[in-house]
Amino acid sequence: DQQVKQNSPSLSVQEGRISILNCDYTNSMFDYFLWYKKYPAEGPTFLISISSIKDKNEDGRFTVFLNKSAKHLSLHIVPSQPGDSAVYFCAASAISNDMRFGAGTRLTVKP
């Protein structure tokens, strides 16, 4: 039972344009959402998070949007840079430290 889904396995964008990565979830008890970035042969790196009491959180080039009624969140990267090329995971938690992850989206930013 996959409670967190990233339906796009890959995404390719041009440098300087916006990257939008999407994530859907099924468990309405999730109250905290996170995005991670992962390079090959490394552990995931925390990017940005959002609590269910908010609908938007920004950190530099990264913005996460949460639509609770649709059980959907998205990560916007503006402007996209070649160094952003990686696999991005979304994750959700109903209680602290019991995290469920999506399968990941591989982002390629072309120069």
Partner 1 sequence: NAGVTQTPKFQVLKTGQSMTLQCAQDMNHEYMSWYRQDPGMGLRLIHYSVGAGITDQGEVPNGYNVSRSTTEDFPLRLLSAAPSQTSVYFCASTKTSGSSYEQYFGPGTRLTVT
Neighbours of 20 (CB within 10 A): 17
In the complex, least distance from residue 111 CB atom to partner 1, rounded to whole angstroms: 28
Binders in 7-66 for partner 1, by CB under 8 A: 32, 34, 36, 41-46, 49, 51
Chosen residue from 4, 13, 75, 109 binding partner 1 by CB under 8 A: 4
For position 106 contacting partner 1 by CB under 8 A, the verdict is no
Core vs surface per residue 27-45: b (16+ CB within 10 A) or e: eeebebbbbbbeeeeeebe
In the complex, least distance from residue 71 CB atom to partner 1, rounded to whole angstroms: 17
Beta strand 10-14 with 32-38: parallel, antiparallel or unpaired? unpaired
For position 96 contacting partner 1 by CB under 8 A, the verdict is yes
For position 89 contacting partner 1 by CB under 8 A, the verdict is yes
Nearest to 21 by CA among 70, 82, 89: 89
